[in-house]
Structure 1
Amino acid sequence: MCEGCETDLADASFAPRCPRCALRLEPDALHCAACLARPPAFVRTIVAFDYEAPADTLIGQLKTQLRLSAAPVLARLLAHAVWCEPSAQALLLVAVPSSRASLRRRGMNPAAEIARSLAAQLGWPWLRAALRRRRETPRQTALGRQARLAGARGVFHCPHDLRGRHVGLVDDVMTTASTADAAARALLAAGAASVTVLVAARTPHGR
């Protein structure tokens, strides 16, 4: 990716967003309606760009075309968004685990590839395989918001002692935030002091 395109994508992280879930906001809004009605378990979300053309091609290169070279680019854009956060602190990075079906299909976990590169670029620790799935869930793209929220509850667990640790939960795309919320609850149950979501792309309007 050329320097100009990276700059354009990086600028997208400065759009007015809900501080909790990074959904784009109307000019006068401070939080999105969903987070006001049902605050998620994580404290905030840092996002690199919105999941829309042309930026979504980067996600597709990693997840669909299996180009691992896209992961460092996504991590670099996400690292830029982190560096621009005035209150950013070093976090223990944890990746959202893929389903077994996705791992068989791709042979890798996109979120873990981004987390690996992000840890190297930020100089932060990364705890591999920190989260595990209790059960498999249907493909999220086929489900609506309420079905995603219901299906994600209790799906993850963390076998590690995270007492007092501030955790950065890494994922490639956030849609309804149901996966991030379920993962954050598992990390908090393992003793994490707080969970911040670090996501490459956020879908507009949580669709």
Structure 2
Amino acid sequence: MPNLTTSTDPDPEDTPERGRHRPAPALTRWRRVAADLLFPPTCILCGAPGDDGRDLCRGCAADLPALGLACVRCALPLPAPVTAGHGAGDDGPLCGRCRRKPPAFARAHAPFRYEQPLPALVAGFKFNGRLNTLRLMGELLAASLGDAAPQRPEAIVPVPLHMRRLRERGYDQALELARVVGRELALPVAAAACERTRATPPQTTLEGKARAQNLRGAFRATADLSGAHVAVLDDVVTTASTVDEVARALRRAGASRVDVWCLARTP
């Protein structure tokens, strides 16, 4: 594995911004145990007692929109049964776009479809600072990867946030999400392996080809990734333009394989 600057620390509730002093991992764990004893977790969706020490009850967890049948390359949800135009790859169905123009990443993984309550949960930690929700969603993403990633990457690379957006938002949600997943899976987080070289308009304001053009040349790898297998992590993948552009930058830096991990994929 190339020598990457990594971050393996651990809890976004203790480290919402880059560079803040961080407590020792053992202290963090004991603080969480004590907090759970004094303030038992409650479901963030319905207010019922949480299950398995998480802020989510068993019923609401079962109601989260599972991804279901999806393209094995980009995780795009597919109709069931697969219709004409969606062929089969070696490991499962491929969407028409991946058949015509395969992305720079090898495979994408998402446990959920981007349907309610996922948009509300993501907005809660992305724009409203609900870091307990971020921790919960990171734990759910990590749990879903337990059996779904037989080829474990050597490091997680969060989709970088431009410094201007970081100053506006106050923290980097992809980085903090990556820290939770990295802690759960015992994987390093290579936060400095890629940077955003220019600020771009939000992808949600653009459509189709404009999304890809908006991001062209917006990312640059800042580490030698020769022969490395890494996973790019983002909260939500919509058209996959962002993660594809990050993957291209990492491949140009020598990465042998790039996967994509996200919480949810839009239909």
TM-score normalized by structure 2? 0.72
Aligned twin of 2:221: 158
Question: Whose helix proportion is higher, 1 or 2?
Answer: 1
Is the 1:95–1:129 Cα contact (8 Å) retained in structure 2?
A: no
Is it true that 1:36 corresponds to 2:127 in the alignment?
no
* Residue-by-residue CA offset, 1:111-169 (whole Å, 9 max, x unaligned): 11100000000111111232111222111111002100111122100110111111010
Deviation at 1:62, TM superposition (A): 0.7
Deviation at 1:173, TM superposition (A): 0.8
Aligned twin of 1:133: 196
* Residue-by-residue CA offset, 1:87-129 (whole Å, 9 max, x unaligned): 3424310100123342122111111110000000011111123
Is the 2:158–2:234 Cα contact (8 Å) retained in structure 1?
A: yes
Is the 1:6–1:77 Cα contact (8 Å) retained in structure 2?
A: no
Distance in 1 (alpha carbons) for counterparts of 2:107 and 2:171: 27
Distance in 2 (alpha carbons) for counterparts of 1:150 and 1:64: 26
- AA aligned to 1:143 is L
Aligned twin of 2:73: 20
Deviation at 1:195, TM superposition (A): 0.5
Distance in 2 (alpha carbons) for counterparts of 1:190 and 1:88: 20
Query: When the two structures are aligned, how many residues end up with a matched partner?
Result: 202
Is the 2:106–2:258 Cα contact (8 Å) retained in structure 1?
A: yes
Give the gaps of 5 or more residues in structure 1. Answer: none
- Residues 86 and 122 (structure 1 numbering): CA distance in 2 closer, same or farther, change over 3 Å? closer
- AA aligned to 2:184 is Q
Distance in 2 (alpha carbons) for counterparts of 1:96 and 1:90: 16
Aligned twin of 1:87: 150
User: Which range is displaced more, 189-198 or 52-61?
Assistant: 52-61
Is it true that 1:172 corresponds to 2:235 in the alignment?
yes
Aligned twin of 1:2: 57
Distance in 1 (alpha carbons) for counterparts of 2:69 and 2:160: 29
- AA aligned to 1:20 is R
Deviation at 1:60, TM superposition (A): 1.0
TM-score normalized by structure 1? 0.91
Deviation at 1:86, TM superposition (A): 6.0
**RMSD between aligned alpha carbons?**
1.5
Give the gaps of 5 or more residues in structure 2. Answer: 1-55, 87-92
- AA aligned to 2:102 is P
Determine what percentage of the aligned residue pairs are the same residue: 42
